Structure 1
Amino acid sequence: MEIEFTKYHGLGNDFILIDNRTDRKPMVTSEQAIQLCSRHFGIGADGVIFALPGQDGTDYSMRIFNSDGSEPEMCGNGIRCLAQFLSDLEGDNAKTQYRIHTLAGVIIPKLEGNGKVRVDMGIPLLMAAQIPTTLAAADEKAINTPLEVALQVWQVTCVSMGNPHAITFVEDVAAIPLETIGPLFEHHPVFPQRTNTEFIQVVRRDYLKMRVWERGAGITLACGTGACAAVVAGVLTGNCDRACTVELPGGCLEIEFSEVDQRVYMTGPAELVFTGNISLI
């Protein structure tokens, strides 16, 4: 089977986008997604994203397979890329704003016309059962909670942006041995559905540096939901302001945790890389 694809990236977090608008079932299996995402034997990407027909009154639906074949609930950089992909597909009929159904709920990205997309990421979930994590009682929050990983105690704050995040603030993100410690966080038994992990350095109250280990993808250059979760955690722990620039290895995102409506807003780029056709085995 031959499929058409388009590759986009958001701050180096790269995705293969597939026009799947005529069928609710992804045309690529999770096993084939692993093949496509291989950087040596395939196209190379952090994940495959499908533009599916809308449901429950939305314009479109979004599904994702990570590079390991797992399916996350949502992806912040990915949904910006999807919004740009949909706009490019629609051409002259393109909207400036879309309502997109995801496994994390309805997400609303808005194309700003300057190469950036602003996304209403919704209200963060904070109760331990919602993350999910056993670091706290089900109806309590895990904020600055001690967790032993690799013979070291880390102060961890847990946030769900529709997908699970464990955030810890450190003196120097560059000193974190991400390749070895990331998997230990991801697969720690206190996270029954595994977790994304963000290591955050506070440069100023309105400027954070972040490195991330993504559940199902490993080290990536950027994570949109992770940046959102980091600012939420920073506000909860008193480490940062509600509006922050978050610097990731691939570039910067602007994150606002609104005091008015308690929703999180993310603004960042979505850039076309190339288009092509590939035959799937």
Structure 2
Amino acid sequence: MENSITMIKYQGLGNDYLVLDPNKNRVQLQGKKIALLCQRGFGLGADGVLYGPVEINGKMGVHIYNSDGSEAAISGNGVRIFAKYLIDHEYVKEQKFSIETLSGPVEVECLNSRATEFRVNMGKASFISREIPVTGEVREVINETFTFNKKDYKATCLTVGNPHCIIFMDEVSPEIAKDLGPYVENADEFPERMNLQICRRIDSGNLDIEIWERGSGYTKASGTGSCAAAVAAYRLGLTESRINVNQPGGIIQIDIKDDDTIYMTGSVGYVADMSVAESFFS
């Protein structure tokens, strides 16, 4: 197709991204164009766009965009997907390598020959309010009472490169996440908006979560959300340091080391090569 924009769709446990390689396209990415591409039914449909490889701080990196066109500092599933793209298209040949993001460098290890399983060093979490950010006095936001849609909830907030609000419940469902998510995302206490995970403890090594992502809405899986839920559960004494985080798209394994470094292990898969005419945006 002449004058077309080519992309590749991948998914990480049902959390799908379009990879748009600037070395193979001349399109200038803008928020409205990203939102159009991601719109299901009218566009190609995706939870976001990965724009790269690009140079960030002099190193190979990726810009991560939500489906509403806003830019995210980090995405756990997005990083694993982009790592697969780099291997599939021979930008890297090593099993271990680094990807630069807006939240800093992320160390990635490919665990199999098909490049479908990756282990990612996600760094360390912070519960400190000014770093998340959460308004009010500087404090660790742990098991604190918040009011969302006129109802009180005990919530733990933290950042793993992006902000998360974790609420434990006896039961979780997509309906609860969809109902509560917009209120949490846009609450006044969260000046940069907020991701939500509602969680249920299964046992000391397993959690169930449902996810509402800022800028994307309800999603089937989240890498950073899995990290945040696991670290919150561990901090609250609900789990051990190795946790399987069950979500509608599948399972992500989280390991919390003695120095509080978080490792995320999960799968990714290729979906399709895709293209749109440049006139799609006009």
Q: TM-score, normalised by structure 1?
A: 0.93
Q: Distance in 1 between matches of 2:24 and 2:63?
A: 14
Q: How does 1:197-208 map to 2 (within 5 A)?
A: 197-208=196-207
Unmatched 5+ stretches in structure 1: none
Q: Which residue of 2 aligns with 1:190?
A: 189
Q: Distance in 2 between matches of 1:168 and 1:183?
A: 14
Q: How does 1:1-281 map to 2 (within 5 A)?
A: 1-21=3-23, 27-56=28-57, 58=59, 60-90=60-90, 94-113=93-112, 115-134=116-135, 137-138=137-138, 140-174=139-173, 177-259=176-258, 261-280=259-278, 281=281
Q: TM-score, normalised by structure 2?
A: 0.93
Query: Which letter maps to 2:265?
Result: T
Contact residue 108 and residue 118 of structure 2 kept, 8 A: yes
Contact residue 128 and residue 142 of structure 1 kept, 8 A: yes
Contact residue 88 and residue 94 of structure 1 kept, 8 A: no
Q: Distance in 1 between matches of 2:215 and 2:40?
A: 15
Aligned residues: 275
Unmatched 5+ stretches in structure 2: none
Q: Distance in 2 between matches of 1:44 and 1:154?
A: 33
How large is the RMSD of aligned CA atoms in angstroms?
1.8
Deviation by residue 1:30-63 (Cα, 9 ceiling, x = unmatched): 21111110110111000010113334453x2111
Partner SS, residue 33 of structure 1 = helix
Deviation by residue 1:184-242 (Cα, 9 ceiling, x = unmatched): 00000000000000000000110000001000000000010000001111111111111
Change (3 A) 1:120 1:88: same
Contact residue 254 and residue 264 of structure 2 kept, 8 A: yes
CA drift at 1:26? 7.4
Partner SS, residue 196 of structure 2 = strand
Partner SS, residue 122 of structure 1 = coil
Q: Distance in 2 between matches of 1:237 and 1:104?
A: 26
Identity of aligned residues (%): 33
Contact residue 8 and residue 271 of structure 1 kept, 8 A: yes
Change (3 A) 1:28 1:147: same
Q: Distance in 2 between matches of 1:218 and 1:83?
A: 24
